[in-house]
Amino acid sequence: MIKLSLPVTEEDVRKLKTGDEVYLDGNLVTGRDRVHERVVADKIMPEVSLKNGAVFHAGPIVRGDEATGFETLAIGPTTSMRMEKLEADFIRETGVRIIIGKGGMGPSTAAACKKYGAVHLMFAGGAAVLAASKVALTYGVKWADLGMPEAMWLMKVKNFGPLIVTVDASGENLFEKNKALFAAAKEAALKKYL
């Protein structure tokens, strides 16, 4: 088990290997499809710096408003692969080092992780209350015009995990490897039972 505090250093991130179990402390932001599009396609940079930070592929249920304060009720990860087309550019543009989501990511993200020193971590999909229990504070929202799931929520997390490294900064990719294993196992099973 590895504990990391945000913001992280390139050195912290380069030490991680696929399969490692990680717990995070510190500030992160949420960002899914529309946040990625805004940064990469529309070339609008977020007001908060993501340099050496973490982006969580998640669309939470949040209660409250700016005046009374926010509370994150549920925040499970969404499928990271949806961001595959834009993630490499997102890493380059923002300097983000930790990407958190559901499942794994593809070759383009893995190449960017290697080049810029970043990793992808998975959290159990659907375990939204467990993840929310690790959010110590939801201290703001940017791009609220995108709607609750798609907006960029600003959060402080404590002991956020278990997070499993699926892509490390050497470009190793756990889910790509698994994909080949699952496909081979499927063929073997079809042959065995049919």
Q: Give how far Cα 100 sits from Cα of 40, 65, 109, 148, 184, Å.
A: 18, 25, 12, 18, 28
Q: Measured from the CB atom, is 69 or 147 closer to other proteins?
A: 147
Q: Which amino acid is at 109?
A: T
Instruction: Give which of 149, 147, 126, 124 is closest to 30, Cα–Cα.
Output: 149
Q: Which helix (H) or strand (E) holds 182?
A: helix 174-193
The residue count for binding other proteins (CB under 8 A) is 48
Beta bridge partners of 69: 65
- What backbone torsions phi and psi does residue 185 show, to the nearest 5 degrees? -65, -40
188 binds other proteins (CB under 8 A): yes
Q: Are 27 and 6 in contact (CB under 8 A)?
A: yes
36 is known as an active-site residue: yes
Extract the tokens encoding 148. Answer: 């609750």
> For other proteins, which residue of 41, 44, 45, 183 counts as binding (CB under 8 A)?
183
User: Which range binds other proteins by CB under 8 A, 37-45, 86-94, 111-119, 147-155?
Assistant: 147-155
Q: Are 125 and 76 in contact (CB under 8 A)?
A: yes
Catalytic, out of 8, 16, 35, 36: 36
CB of 61 to other proteins, least distance (A): 5
User: Which range binds other proteins by CB under 8 A, 36-44, 90-98, 152-160, 186-194?
Assistant: 186-194
CB of 19 to other proteins, least distance (A): 7
> For other proteins, which residue of 133, 136, 140, 156 counts as binding (CB under 8 A)?
133
CB of 183 to other proteins, least distance (A): 6
> For other proteins, which residue of 64, 69, 107, 126 counts as binding (CB under 8 A)?
126
100 binds other proteins (CB under 8 A): no
List active site positions: 36
